[in-house]
Amino acid sequence: MQIHIFSLTCAELAAELNRRYGKGHYHARALCREIFKAGTTAFASAPEFVRSPSLTLQLCRDVCLPSCRIVEQIEDGVLKFASALDDGHLIESVIIPSHDRTTLCVSSQAGCRMACSFCTTGAMGFIRNLSVEEIVWQVYAARFLLSHRVDNIVFMGMGEPLDNLDNVVQALRVISDQRGLDIPLSHITLSTAGHADGLARLAALNLTRLRLAVSLNAADDVLRSSLMPINNKYPLSRLRQELLSFPLCKGGIIFVEYVLLAGINDSLEHARSLARFLDGLPVRVNVIAYNGDGSTVYGTPPPEQVRQFCSWLAGEKIFVRARQSRGQSIMAACGQLGASLCADAQRGDRSCPDHPCNLL
């Protein structure tokens, strides 16, 4: 059995080294330092390993690094990169620099089974969950292979993170490990389409520093179910119940993402129903005008409609911001990941799922 080092915290690695070779924290810390702090996989030349040649031989044999590789990069203000997994499937991640920090948007699944009607990834259908190391690898790749600082992470790429909760939670542990990549939970946002069972399980873990975002997009069940089939399984009343009991740190808030679709969910009545749903919840609402790529029936609302929608909410004393979604030109904006993968697959260049997006 190999040691999948991208799946382990430093403490877990130390326990594994102890179990296998009678070694412990000293070598585990050196391994984590070389790989996750220095970004080198040639750990054998580090002093701790030069002094322990037989252990080093065993580690070179047993330590397993992810076999993902970057196969494409496209840059236009943001940098989108596609990674090939060891079974040939592809995922996308996006590096979003701003004036004082850089955010990495990571994928948690190849494809997605949630089938949101406005989302390109949803149209791909579900391929499979990403392993812990495949999630962590995206952070490593952004930082060390593409040489970008990564201050914040958002789980808003391909997939519903709460549909792959066990692997996502272990990835959070590894990414936030101070002896490793050291990105604190308070800088990580997990975004869900409203997977209420997953929210309940996540709440039980009491990760109060983790930031939570909910992609809402409508606050009445009929409309929301038509946009997001997950609402059939977890209607708004259940979702609200989970949000009300979700553990937050003192002063903590839940981010609510609302993609405005022209003529669909952008009226005063929709804003009123959203305000009713949010009543009593500690939230900040991010309103994002839909990024039309021509692959769906939806249109982008005019800027005046976005402004009015936001001011209606603000008038209800809701903290709201109109957010610019960056990366439209390279299909890296919200809801656009996977478009290039599907297009290539249709041309026969790449793998893409057979599955229809009908699983909920």
3-state secondary structure of 73: strand
CB of 351 to ligand SF4, least distance (A): 18
End-to-end CA distance of the chain: 36
Nearer to ligand SF4, 8 or 259 (CB): 259
Nearer to ligand SF4, 13 or 193 (CB): 193
Which position among 121, 152, 286, 328 is part of the footprint of ligand SF4 (CB under 6 A)?
121
The Cα 130–Cα 161 span in angstroms is 10
The Cα 9–Cα 2 span in angstroms is 16
CB of 229 to ligand SF4, least distance (A): 9
Strand partners, 288: 259, 323
Catalytic residue among 32, 112, 119, 334: 334
Which position among 16, 34, 160, 177 is part of the footprint of ligand SF4 (CB under 6 A)?
160
Which position among 116, 227, 275, 332 is part of the footprint of ligand SF4 (CB under 6 A)?
116
CA nearest neighbour of 107 among 177, 172, 154: 154
Which position among 66, 180, 327, 335 is part of the footprint of ligand SF4 (CB under 6 A)?
335
Tokens 């869900």 belong to: 192
> Count of alpha carbons within 13 Å of 256, Cβ hemisphere only?
24
Backbone angles phi, psi at 179, to 5 degrees: -85, 0
Nearer to ligand SF4, 208 or 226 (CB): 226
Q: What residues from 205 to 264 belong to the interface with ligand SF4 (CB under 6 A)?
A: 215
Q: Which pair of structure tokens corresponds to residue 113?
A: 């089974």
Tokens 């690094």 belong to: 65
| Binding track over 64-103 against ligand SF4, x by CB under 6 A | ----------------------------------------
Active site residues: 334
- Site of interaction with ligand SF4 (CB under 6 A): 112, 114-116, 119, 121-122, 158-160, 193, 215, 335
